[in-house]
Chain A
Amino acid sequence: MTTGDEPLMGIPDIDAALSPYLPPGCLIVVIGTPGSGSHLLAKQFAQAGVGSTPVFYYTTAERTIDSQDAFRSFHWDPEPIRFGNLSDDYYQRVLEPQLEVSRIRERGLRLDDLRNARRAEVSVGPYSLVNRFLNDLAGLDAPFRLVLDSLDFLLELLEVSEVVNLVRQIRSRTQLLGGKAMVTVQQASLDNKSSAMLEDVADLGITLRSDPNGATFEHTLEVRKLRNHPERTQIRRLTIDDTGFHVAP
């Protein structure tokens, strides 16, 4: 398969409706409501690139092994996908030391806590995580597919403008190398202004919803923005089975 005809998201009807209008390098921003399946869509999108380009899956929402299990539960092989886990990193480098700090503050520092300790030269912060991610990104030199699931956690740590800037860097990389990138975010993490800023960067802006309908939930995918093709905005009802999302008949 060539990069020209690789699936967009792995939902054939939607891919067919949107692919002709998207450039080879593009950024998809998925805004999700709770339970709408944005993590699933992220995986389906990743899976759709397997066999065409190297696929990178960065998660901040779950442990790597849980991600991999989720892939398997939809009969997708996680083996070819390269995982990057920003939340493990965050836990080890930021949260764990923070816990230790509050423990020590609580009980008081003792001389023993100082023995065998080295002077810390640099303090770790959210920037080191973002830098690591940007480093990986800068290391790519051929068409790629990349998922960042999700921005929520970065929004907790950084200014919105910094997060938008990161997304912008992802997009410029996709344009340069012909890559497809998807970033996801929960609607609740965004105010109107920040969702406008994010959608502005996107080539394809999608909102995923899950609304109660009788005894079940109805899943909808809204194509809210397709760059240069406002006439292509649309709303599709989705179903989910053990092979992922499908357009409802």
Chain B
Amino acid sequence: MVLVAGGVGTGKTTLCLEFLVRGAERGEKGLFISVTEASAKLMQNFSTFEFFHTDLVNNNLVTIVDLPIVYDRLGLNREELKPGEVDILVRTIQDLVRESGARRVVVDSLTSVGFRVRSEEKARDFILKLAQAFSELGTTSLMVAEVGAVPGVHSLYGVEEAIVDGVVMLSNVRRRGDMLRVLQIIKMRGTVHSRAQYVIELTPIGLLMAPFLKGGRLETA
């Protein structure tokens, strides 16, 4: 389970989508659990990317689930979740992963589920149980965390960073009047990884990465 942390518009959703699409190309099914955006709108946005084909969804290689509809069906639309309802939610997500046959799962975003769950304590409970469920299922999952611009803070509830296997941080960096999108791997268990920042570009053919060069040489062109 990897946390994709970042501020607004930093490319979190795009990165996650590409993760599912690349998996589907290799025959691994994917499940996209959308919390903030309705699946219809998401599909619209997704279709502007060349690497995404609606066939992927039509052939059930990528399944998109609207979590608010799940809340609704489970009667979780009251102000505050009752004790035990966190478990119902986690169990349901587990069921849906199993039914879809997904090997890769995205939750966009964990932060929004946290807001729905209301109390921080329940949000932590949810995240821990979800991590447990995904590890039982043996899926590879990306959890989106919407975090502000506070350096070094990659989670809202304090537990995400500790329980996930990896943290990928996306941010916007201002460089000589330009806004650059930057990706940095903060941690990744069990591998040796670069801790350098990479400049990324969101393009119709997917995410392109280049080393982030110090000293402004980027502008020499």
Given that A105-B88, A119-B38, A119-B66 are known contacts, is A111 also in contact with B73, CB under 8 Å in the complex? no
Interface check A92, CB cutoff 8 A: no
**Residue with the greatest number of chain B CB neighbours at <10 A, chosen from A100, A108, A109:** A109
A101, B66: Cβ atoms under 8 Å? no
A113, CB-defined interface residue at 8 Å: yes
> Is B176 in the interface zone, CB < 8 Å from A?
no
Any B CB within 8 A of the CB of A104: yes
Query: What is the bound-complex CA distance between A102 and B68, given in angstroms?
Result: 17
Chain A residues with Cβ below 8 Å from B72 are 117, 119-120
Our pick among A102, A109, A110, A114 for the contact of B66 (Cβ within 8 Å) is A114
Q: How far is the CA of A171 from the CA of B206 in the complex (A)?
A: 66
B77 x A111 contact (CB < 8 A): no
Checking B68, B92, B95, B99 against A119 with a beta-carbon cut-off of 8 angstroms, the contacting residue is: B68
B38 & A113 in contact (Cβ 8 Å cutoff): no
Using A114-B69, A119-B38 as known contacts, say yes or no to A97 and B75 having CB atoms under 8 A apart: yes
Tell me, yes or no, whether B128 is within 8 Å of chain A by CB.
no
Contact of A109 among B38, B68, B70, B78 (CB under 8 A): B70
Q: Confirm or deny: B196 has a beta carbon within 8 angstroms of a beta carbon on chain A.
A: no
Q: Which residue of A lies closest to B93 (CB)?
A: A109
* CB-based contact A109/B100 at 8 Å: no
A111 engages B68 (CB within 8 Å): no
Which chain A residue shows the least CB distance to B78? Answer: A123
Q: Enumerate chain B residues within 8 angstroms of A118, measured Cβ to Cβ.
A: 69
Partner of B75, one of A105, A111, A114: A105
A161 sits at the interface (CB 8 A): no
B155 within 8 A of A: no
Is B109 among interface residues, defined by CB-CB distance under 8 A? no
Determine the distance from Cα of A84 to Cα of B49 in the docked complex, in whole angstroms: 54
Contact of B77 among A100, A102, A108, A120 (CB under 8 A): A120
What is the CB-to-nearest-CB distance from B136 to chain A, in angstroms, rounded to a whole number?
16
Q: Which of B38, B69, B95 contacts A108 (CB 8 A)?
A: B95
Write the nearest CB–CB distance from B158 to chain A, whole angstroms.
Answer: 30
Q: In the complex, are the beta carbons of A101 and B63 less than 8 A apart? A: no
Contacts of A101 in B (CB 8 A): 73-75
Q: Which of B27-68 contact A (CB under 8 A)?
A: 38, 63, 65-66, 68
Binary flags per residue of A101-141, CB closer than 8 Å to B gives 1, else 0: 11011001111011001111001000000000000000000
Q: Which 4 A-B pairs give the minimum distances between C-beta atoms?
A: A101-B75, A123-B77, A120-B72, A117-B69
Given A109-B95, A113-B73, A114-B70, 14 additional A-B pairs, CB 8 A: A97-B75, A100-B73, A101-B74, A101-B75, A108-B91, A109-B96, A110-B95, A114-B73, A117-B72, A119-B66, A119-B68, A119-B72, A120-B77, A123-B78
